[in-house]
Amino acid sequence: MLYSTPLHNPPITLSTIKGLGLKMQARIYVTGGSSHAGKSTFTMLLLSALLKLGIKSLGYVKPTTQCEKKSITTIFCEHNSILTTGSPVVYYKGYTRSYLKGQTSTRSETHDLIASTIDANFSSVDVLVIDGVGYPAVGSITDTSNASVCRTLRSPAIVVTPTGVGNAVDTYDYCRCYMLFNGCDVLGGVVNGVAREGFYDLKSVREYVGMGLGNKGEVLYGVVPKFEELVDIRDDDLRMESMVKEGGLDALTDEFLKNVDVGGIVRDAQVWAWRNQPGSEGGEIGVNGMRVERQWQRQRQQYQHQQQHHHNPPPEFSMTTAPPPPPPHPKTSVGDVGVSKGVKRTREEIEKEAKAQGAKGG
């Protein structure tokens, strides 16, 4: 059977990766299996773990957001001199309806803004962690879903799922399908909020989710324990400040590193970037990169299974020949079709009217 990548011991550091001659920037887009799946907490612990591995050239950005209040991740970045910047796109009150009326920036203008902001601010960092909003389809009504933004930023994705076994694998599957449909590669998954004891403890969830994903040719990078110290911390400014500035994350980061293959995530993100750089055939694998390799592995596994029960011929598939990419879908292309053309309005005008009408969100 094909199982997920084992944890690396010792961990792979950036110097090890660069020793292989892979000097591309590693971009890691983090999307959640659901709202409040612990995605932002995961990104903070990932950044903290990268610092402990000796990777100092780091960047963090949230390309789209509904909340402009400082998160614990932003506080952590500022405290540890990790390069960060504000979100280029804010879903302020009234944004969605005004976008549909054509009163805000167009689809292409919005994606150009996201790409130019990230490229201008983060071109010098070795690893850029990109924090999505909720699950993959969030933002689709304004043509800025996680999947479309991930594609615009030329980044592979990691899916953070809630705990469980069947639930984790099922959640990963539908998230991965949405991302792939929109032209994004998914490197693998991480299960968050896992109990330390009981039927769904760290050991059993890692084993069985690893088997479930591995049987599909997918990768489980690890499981994140449920940290009581971080529960509901986003609503408590004092707790956030104290946790970050008084060393409260040190022990949590150590435990995170024991359970998550951080080095493997960075390695795979850099390999993906190298194989998918513009104008490159990506070595012998092809422009579809790791997806081709995993599809080949999956088909080989299916063939081996068939050979044990039937006598079917092997599939005609080569690692050196990438399968044709899926045809572009008109609704997922970055253009400006389908949006009404209206008179442009300022954010202040839109928010004032939306608040007066009782808007609670974007």
Is the pLDDT score of 29 beyond 90? yes
What is the tens place of the pLDDT at every residue in 164-173?
Answer: 999 999 999 9
Per-residue pLDDT at 297: 52
Residue 4 confidence (pLDDT) above 70: no
Computed over every residue of the chain, the mean pLDDT equals: 80
Would you call the peptide bond into 11 cis, given omega within 30 degrees of 0 as the criterion?
A: no
Q: Which two tokens stand for residue 148?
A: 């479309």
Distances (CA, A) of 57 to 44, 80, 114, 272: 15, 11, 21, 19
Evaluate if residue 199 carries a pLDDT over 50: yes
Mean pLDDT of 16-31: 74
| Cβ atoms of residues 188 and 28 within 8 Å | no
Band (17; pLDDT cuts 50, 70, 90): low
pLDDT at 214 over 90: yes
Average pLDDT over residues 276-284: 56
**Could you please report the per-residue DSSP string of 250-305?**
HHHHHHHHHHB-HHHHHHHHHHHHHHTSTT--TTTT-TTTHHHHHHHHHHHHHHHH
Decide which of 70 and 300 is more confident.
Answer: 70
Of the ranges 18-27, 53-62, 143-152, 342-351, which one carries the lowest mean pLDDT score?
18-27
Residue 115 dihedral angles phi and psi, to the nearest 5°: -65, -45
Burial of 19 by CB count in 10 Å (0-12 exposed, 13-18 middle, 19+ buried)?
Answer: exposed
Point out the least confidently predicted range of 49-58, 65-74, 285-294, 330-339: 285-294
128-160 pLDDT tens trace: 999 999 899 999 999 999 999 999 999 999 999
- Biggest alpha carbon–alpha carbon distance for the chain: 70
Of residues 73 and 323, more confidence is placed in 73
- Weakest mean pLDDT among 53-62, 259-268, 336-345: 336-345
Burial of 46 (0-12, 13-18, 19+ CB in 10 A): buried
